[in-house]
Amino acid sequence: MNVSVPARRSASGFTLIELLIALVITAFVLGGITMAFYRTTSEALRLRDVTDRRQSARTAVQLIEREARMAGSGWGRIPVYGNNSAGQPVTLSAVTPGFTSIAADDSVMLIGAWQVSTVVTDQMPSSSTNLKVQDVTGFNTNDLILVTNGLQANMIQVTGTNSSSEKIQCNSANPYNSPGGYKVSEGHWPPTGYGPGSIVEKLTISSYYMDRTSFSKPALIRHEYGLSPQVAAYNVDGFRVWYQMQNGTWTRDPKNMMQVQKVMPVVATRLSDPRRPALVDSVWAALRPRSF
């Protein structure tokens, strides 16, 4: 008996061409996923860098803002006459600009008296006279102090204190106390000196400026008199200080601080991105010192 057996079908599979096409498609998909992941990671790192720089700049601006608001506390806008560390006469104001050129960074010096204060009890005829005060507590050797009667103001340096007699010593051999910067004839010292009731205050003098050489990246430095310089903001692009005049205009180089109404410190940040021009940003605050 003849029984018909169905023909056996040949085994089917992928051809070499089909495998190659599948591999190419898989490579494209994996490549796209990898590129998307890389771009996302790169953008996240860029945003983190931007955030870190802005936060650093914001912290510095807040510090400058706090001290600028207190600048002149204790005497207001009265010019302060004195000497520098070389014994040369200087005239200080609550806010002292440091402008050099349009392309260069600015600096600013802020002076205030918000630490220790006392009152003169005996006449102080000259800058090198021992200063009799109500209380010497809080005043130390090498402190820079301010003496003012409300109409005039002078800066001198403490060379010693005596708590038993409540005297602050101001040796004339000290360059800050050299008589050269305190000429009565030029209006740099009251004709009769500072009498009882005059105010004596310890000065806080802070300078802000850019340092582009001491660190691997540019930094904004805060240097308070008597202390070591400290980094206020790291990896920033520049520092500019603008001043609003009474006529409403803004300038970085005010010729008369008596005409200044507001101070605006600006800390610039920059982040280079190969896909676009350099991203430039800044953090700033416009403020008016309380003594202005």
3-state secondary structure string across 218-238: CEEEEEECCCCCEEEEECCCE
Q: CA 86, 91, 93, 98: dihedral to nearest 10 degrees?
A: -60
Confidence label for 227 from pLDDT (cuts 50, 70 and 90): very high
The confidence score (pLDDT) of residue 290 equals 83
Identity of the residue numbered 105: D
CA dist., res. 267 & res. 176, Å (int):
33
Structure tokens at 63: 């510090």
For residue 25, count CB atoms less than 10 angstroms from its CB and return exposed for 0-12, middle for 13-18, buried for 19 or more: exposed
What pLDDT does residue 17 have? 80
41 CB contacts (<8 Å, ≥6 apart)? none
Strands of the 260-273 sheet, one edge to the other: 250-251, 238-245, 260-273, 276-284
Least confident span in 30-39, 68-77, 219-228: 30-39
**Res 1 pLDDT > 70:** no
Given this model, what pLDDT does residue 205 score?
A: 95
Residues in the chain, total: 292
Residue 194, SS3?
A: strand
The ranges assigned to domains in the chain are 18-75+207-292
Beta bridge partners of 187: none
Is the pLDDT at 278 greater than 60, yes or no?
Answer: no
Alpha helices for the chain (secondary structure H): 16-70
For residue 40, pLDDT over 80 is answered with no
Q: Is the backbone of residue 76 left (phi > 0), alpha (psi -120 to 50) or beta?
A: left
Residue 45 or 249, more confident: 249
Measuring CA to CA, which residue among 99, 98, 97, 95 is closest to residue 77? 95
Which of 112, 191, 194, 202 lies closest to 161 in space, CA to CA? 202
Locate 197 and state its tokens.
């009731």
Q: CB neighbours (10 Å) of residue 229?
A: 14
| Structure confidence at residue 291 as a pLDDT band (50, 70, 90) | confident
Q: Give the largest Cα separation in the chain, rounded.
A: 148
pLDDT in tens, 59-94: 999 999 999 999 998 788 888 999 999 999 999 899
Report d(CA 63, CA 219) in Å as an integer: 15
pLDDT at position 63 is: 93
Position 230 scores a pLDDT of 96
Higher-confidence residue of 39 and 171: namely 171
Residue 274 binned pLDDT confidence (cut-offs 50, 70, 90): low
